């Protein structure tokens, strides 16, 4: 069992480590702690970034020094964890147009995995994925649960532009590009859904703890 | 990018530290005042004129309706901040007036300013005439230079690097590459060897984090960085180091890193901001 550790990251952040692996139960504890810290609303805490197995707490060193933040975090951790929100798991369905112009790398993924394109689509869309964390770009969800038989390395040369809504595979990860950006993922399909809208509340379609299914159109 | 210069410009015109201002990365830019206002420009290597006459930077100055302010970024710096009393009042998006260019939202329609844009200014309660001429003296500003020494704090993955790499990191000189931008400043120089894989489980990335991908070249993560990343980070720049780094010109600036203690870093940062108050001209 990985001991909980707290350490400084520069002079304006602090890292709380609960573990070092991709593990659903561990990740749920990360998000429960993140919700607890967020709810405390300590002045000087700027942002809390939960990840697979740790949380990065950004603070303003004009208002708080490292020892104060560490002391506060330890006190919060020692409190009994109340169920703060997220008792219900949402299942989000993502409609996907697989292949063709929407999925220019589907043939390559099929060939690499020794499967037909239809089999790749079936295995990708028959799974339930877990949202482990948000990050990278606005609305991007790190998904766990890709069938290992679909794992395909990234493009050797990334594309200059991947359109918003592109569904891809990189190594043993799968995900959706929420905004157009350069990218090296193998693109197998496209969703018309908007994963990020800064005017919406909440601004992201997905959230940690959600389950996601891809539905072939 | 240079948070000190932004804060200084805002304080010179009586704004709170959270007021929206303009960031100039390059230039020149010229604008005409639609109403009289108090302005200040802060940054490194920046030149300001009012109707063609030079105005000192790091100083509040009155610009009357119809006058033209022109700002150019010269040698010795990259970023300048233009603040006006009352702040720029573009709409709040996700609680902020800042522009996020990679996502094309916030600020003025999520984009850089264009010729013809009109910027709304908020109300101010300060006496513009009394504040005109207030300045931030040179000794209160960061020691901007093209060859600065940057205080850093080791971690969070310092132990993912060999002892030789950690020693090299503190001894070698690194050049700011031409690809430096708001997302990060890539540095070129002696490669830093990983003791294990360069990849880690994705986690949050602090401002000023020094990522080192497999090629061993440090990349300092800045204002528009992705919020999370999966490369090992050898160190994090102290807050006081950030203005020094970002004002180094791409292709010219050279930096070296110097480890300091966390407590010292926080103390220096507070002292620097405690000294950042406008000096008023004696009547």
- Residue range B19-45: average pLDDT? 95
Go through B188-216 and write b for each residue having 16 or more CB atoms within 10 A of its CB, e for each that does not: ebeebebeeebebbbbbbbbbbbbbbeeb
In this prediction the ipTM stands at 0.95
A214 in contact with B, Cβ within 8 Å? no
CA distance A181 to chain B (A): 8
Above pLDDT 70, what percent of chain A? Answer: 95
Higher pLDDT, B197 or B157: B157
CA distance B30 to chain A (A): 31
Q: What is the pLDDT of residue B32?
A: 98
In degrees and rounded to multiples of 5, residue A176 shows phi and psi of -125, 130
Per-residue pLDDT at A160 exceeds 90: no
| pLDDT digits 0-9 by tens, A70-117 | 999 999 999 876 655 555 789 999 999 999 999 999 999 999 999 999
Contact at CB, A52 and B202, closer than 8 angstroms: yes
Above pLDDT 70, what percent of chain B? Answer: 99
* A181 chain-B contacts, CB cut-off 8 A: 102
> In angstroms, how far is CA B168 from the centroid of its own chain?
27
| pLDDT digits 0-9 by tens, B87-107 | 999 999 999 999 999 889 999
HSE-CB for B13 with a 13 A CA cutoff: 34
Q: What is the pLDDT of residue A88?
A: 74
Q: What is the pLDDT of residue A164?
A: 92
Q: What is the pLDDT of residue A82?
A: 60
Q: What is the pLDDT of residue A181?
A: 81
Neighbours of B258 (CB within 10 A): 13
Residue B142: name the closest of B45, B244, B3 by CA: B244
In A18-110 the beta strands, taken as DSSP E runs, fall at: 45-50, 54-59, 91-98
Give the integer Cα–Cα distance in Å for A207 and B199.
24
- Residue range B110-114: average pLDDT? 96
Q: What is the pLDDT of residue B186?
A: 94
Neighbours of B283 (CB within 10 A): 4
> Predicted confidence band at A50 (pLDDT cuts at 50, 70, 90)?
very high
């Amino acid at each position: 069992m990985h001991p909980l550790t707290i350490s400084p990251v520069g002079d304006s952040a602090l890292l709380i480590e609960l573990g070092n692996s991709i593990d659903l139960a561990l990740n749920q504890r990360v998000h429960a702690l993140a919700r607890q810290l967020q709810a405390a609303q300590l002045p000087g805490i700027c942002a809390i970034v939960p990840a697979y197995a740790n949380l990065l707490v950004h603070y303003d060193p004009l208002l708080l020094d490292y020892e104060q933040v560490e002391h506060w975090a330890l006190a919060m951790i020692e409190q009994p964890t109340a169920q703060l929100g997220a008792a219900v798991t949402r299942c989000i369905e993502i409609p996907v147009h697989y292949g063709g112009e929407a999925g220019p790398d589907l043939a390559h993924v099929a060939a690499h995995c020794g499967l037909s394109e239809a089999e790749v689509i079936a295995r990708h869309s028959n799974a339930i994925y877990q949202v482990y964390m948000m990050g990278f770009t606005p609305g991007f969800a790190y998904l766990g649960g890709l069938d290992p038989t679909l794992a395909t390395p990234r493009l050797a040369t990334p594309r200059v532009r991947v359109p918003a809504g592109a569904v891809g595979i990189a190594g043993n990860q799968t995900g959706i590009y929420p905004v157009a950006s350069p990218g090296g993922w193998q693109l197998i399909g496209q969703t018309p859904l908007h994963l990020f809208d800064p005017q919406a509340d909440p601004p992201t379609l997905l959230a940690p703890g959600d389950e996601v299914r891809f539905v072939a159109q | 990018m240079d948070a000190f210069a932004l804060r200084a410009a805002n304080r010179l015109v009586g704004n709170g530290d959270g007021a929206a201002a303009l960031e100039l990365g390059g230039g020149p830019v010229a604008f005409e005042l639609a109403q009289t206002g108090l302005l200040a420009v802060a940054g490194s290597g920046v030149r300001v004129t009012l109707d063609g006459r030079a105005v000192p930077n790091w100083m509040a100055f009155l610009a009357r309706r119809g006058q033209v302010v022109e700002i150019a970024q010269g040698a010795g710096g990259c970023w300048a901040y233009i603040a006006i009393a009352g702040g720029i009042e573009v709409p709040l998006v996700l609680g902020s007036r800042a522009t996020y260019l990679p996502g094309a939202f916030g600020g003025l329609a999520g984009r850089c300013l264009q010729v013809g844009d009109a910027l709304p200014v908020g109300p101010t309660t300060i006496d513009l005439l009394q504040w005109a001429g207030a300045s931030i003296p040179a000794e209160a500003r960061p020691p901007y230079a093209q060859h600065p020494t940057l205080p850093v704090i080791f971690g969070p993955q310092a132990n993912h690097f060999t002892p030789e790499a950690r020693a090299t990191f503190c001894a070698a000189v690194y050049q700011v590459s031409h690809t430096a931008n708001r997302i990060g400043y890539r540095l070129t120089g002696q490669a830093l060897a990983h003791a294990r894989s360069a990849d880690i489980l994705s986690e949050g990335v602090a401002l000023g984090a020094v990522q080192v991908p497999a090629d061993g070249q440090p990349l300092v993560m800045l204002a528009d960085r992705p919020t999370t990343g999966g490369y090992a980070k050898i160190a994090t720049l102290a807050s006081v180091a950030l203005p020094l780094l970002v004002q180094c010109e791409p292709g010219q600036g050279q930096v070296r890193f110097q480890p300091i203690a966390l407590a010292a870093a926080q103390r220096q940062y507070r002292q620097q901001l405690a000294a950042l108050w406008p000096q008023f001209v004696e009547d």
